[in-house]
Amino acid sequence: DYNQQKAELSLLTAVDQLSLTLISISTPAPDSFCPKRFFKTCGLNKKSPQDVKKVFGILDDDASGFIEEEELKFILQRFNPGARVLTDKETKAFMCAADDDSDGRIGAEEFQAMISS
């Protein structure tokens, strides 16, 4: 269920008060979101591949095996419910940065590659 997933995501990413502050500072205004900086700030790039895969599963809201543009818009809110929604420009830039095979969606391997790069 959603609340359980939210709790798992918080545990997996070890988002403490300082990290939440850093996340808010690093994405304050529309069109300022940088996926790589975001994942480094919240510490996901230091998690095990298994933990990254679990986070991917949480972000894949419809359990399709892929993260689509509509799911990307709400990525900040999955880490911090009070965060803003990504703009269309940010969502498209995020998709371009992670969608290596250009199929319009991010698979688990693509997500892992983006996190670890």
Q: Is 100 annotated as a binding residue?
A: no
**Six token digits for residue 70:** 């509509």
Q: Is 61 annotated as a binding residue?
A: no
Q: Is 101 annotated as a binding residue?
A: yes
Q: Is 103 annotated as a binding residue?
A: yes
| 3-class state of residue 94 by DSSP | helix
Q: Is 64 annotated as a binding residue?
A: yes
Cα–Cα dist 2/25, whole Å: 26
Nearest to 61 by CA among 20, 110, 6, 116: 6
Tell me the H-state helices in 1-107.
Answer: 2-13, 17-26, 35-41, 49-59, 69-72, 75-79, 88-98
* 74 in Cβ contact with 6 (< 8 Å): no
| Residues contributing to the annotated binding site | 60, 62, 64, 66, 71, 99, 101, 103, 110
| Residues contributing to the annotated binding site for Ca(2+) | 60, 62, 64, 66, 71, 99, 101, 103, 110
